[in-house]
């Protein structure tokens, strides 16, 4: 769409934001889709994320038409272990989204859980909401129950509260409580705010512990509770607005 790119529409919203609100991908991922040349507007391949669109345009991603974005929604999902948190897995493993076919509209996850990690995974139809909830600046803690092989004292766990550096990576403050030492395993409740890749496992390894079960029990104000494995429950719109606050609601169009 080179000719059109020289004279971008004055009204509407940027295509990356539109795709994010439609739950296709985050804004950053939407820009990558445009770079791949699989986003079209009115039949022409788009070449810039700055292009502005309106709902009446024929907007497609890899041939699939994307309609007017729905109201942002959020679901709690109890992820079993053994599922990959991605839409497509190059190794052919079953994904979270394979289990959701026919149960939910198009959704993306708020962050990810490792293959062997179970527990609370938030799902949303809004890329903007997903991105906002993932930001450390939102201030929402992720809480986990950890079973790890090895022995540890509370004094060792307290070393994490000021943050630590592991293999050149700086991890922020962590609140960790030893719940029980059961034989060769320790049960620990742990709360983090950043959610770096494999953060909990790396922190436990730093203390000489080997994680053999990891369950996320809360993400900010939203709890896993008694939601059964593979269970889904939508968070009511009123509750969602109350937890997000006015500023975030305005930002994401809720």
Contact (Cβ atoms closer than 8 angstroms) between residue 194 and residue 172? yes
pLDDT bracket for residue 69 (50, 70, 90): low
Strand partners, 248: none
pLDDT tens digit sequence for 119-149: 999 999 888 888 888 887 777 899 999 999 9
How far from 220 is each of 23, 73, 84, 244, CA to CA, in Å?
A: 21, 16, 22, 10
Report the CATH superfamily, name and number, of domain 2-65: RNA-binding S4 domain (3.10.290.10)
Strand partners, 78: 120
68 φ/ψ sector (left φ>0, alpha ψ -120 to 50, else beta): beta
pLDDT tens digit sequence for 216-236: 999 999 999 999 999 999 999
Q: What residue ranges do the domains of the chain occupy?
A: 2-65, 74-137+222-252, 141-219
How far from 7 is each of 1, 52, 53, 215, CA to CA, in Å?
A: 10, 10, 13, 51
How far is the C-alpha of 241 from the C-alpha of 245, rounded, in Å?
A: 6
How far from 25 is each of 9, 15, 179, CA to CA, in Å?
A: 23, 11, 38
Average pLDDT, the chain: 87
Phi first, then psi, for residue 251 (nearest 5°) are -65, -40
Catalytic residue selected from 47, 89, 114, 158: 114
Residue 114 designated active-site = yes
**Does residue 1 surpass a pLDDT of 80?**
no
> How many Cβ atoms from other residues are within 10 Å of residue 29's Cβ?
16
In this prediction, residue 186 carries a pLDDT of 94
How far is the C-alpha of 246 from the C-alpha of 122, rounded, in Å?
A: 20
Query: Domain 141-219 falls in which CATH fold?
Result: Alpha-Beta Plaits (3.30.70)
Question: What does pTM read for this prediction?
Answer: 0.74
**Does residue 55 surpass a pLDDT of 80?**
no
How far from 135 is each of 39, 44, 75, 110, 244, CA to CA, in Å?
A: 27, 34, 18, 10, 13
| Two tokens, residue 204 | 């436990």
Q: pLDDT over 90 for what percent of the chain? A: 46
CA proximity to 97, closest of 108, 111, 113: 108
In this prediction, residue 56 carries a pLDDT of 79
Judge residue 157's burial from the number of C-beta atoms within 10 Å of its C-beta, 0-12 exposed, 13-18 middle, 19 or more buried. Answer: buried
Domain 74-137+222-252 has CATH 3.30.429.10: no
CA proximity to 176, closest of 198, 200, 194: 200
Contact (Cβ atoms closer than 8 angstroms) between residue 185 and residue 194? no
């Amino acid at each position: 769409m080179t000719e059109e790119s020289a004279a971008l529409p004055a009204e509407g919203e940027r295509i990356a934001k539109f795709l994010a609100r439609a739950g296709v991908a985050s804004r950053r991922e939407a820009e990558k889709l445009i770079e791949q040349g699989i986003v079209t507007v009115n039949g022409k391949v788009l070449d810039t994320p700055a292009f502005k669109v309106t709902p009446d345009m024929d907007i497609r991603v890899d041939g699939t038409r994307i309609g007017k974005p729905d109201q942002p929604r959020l679901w709690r999902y109890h992820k079993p272990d053994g599922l990959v948190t991605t839409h497509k897995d190059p190794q052919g493993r079953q994904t979270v989204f394979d289990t959701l076919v026919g149960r939910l509209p198009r959704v993306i996850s708020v962050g990810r859980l490792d293959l062997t990690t179970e527990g609370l995974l938030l799902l949303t139809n809004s890329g903007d909401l997903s991105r906002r909830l993932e930001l450390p600046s939102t201030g929402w803690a992720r809480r986990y129950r950890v079973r790890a092989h090895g022995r540890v004292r509370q004094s060792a766990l307290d070393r994490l509260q000021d943050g630590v550096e592991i293999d050149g990576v700086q991890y922020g403050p962590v609140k960790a409580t030893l719940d029980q030492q059961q034989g060769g395993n320790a049960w620990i409740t742990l709360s983090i705010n950043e959610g770096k890749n494999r953060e909990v496992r790396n922190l436990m390894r730093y203390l000489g512990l080997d994680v053999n079960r990891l369950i996320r029990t809360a993400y900010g104000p939203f709890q896993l509770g008694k939601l059964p494995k593979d269970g889904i429950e939508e968070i009511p719109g009123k509750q969602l607005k109350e937890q997000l606050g006015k500023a975030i609601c305005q930002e994401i169009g809720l």
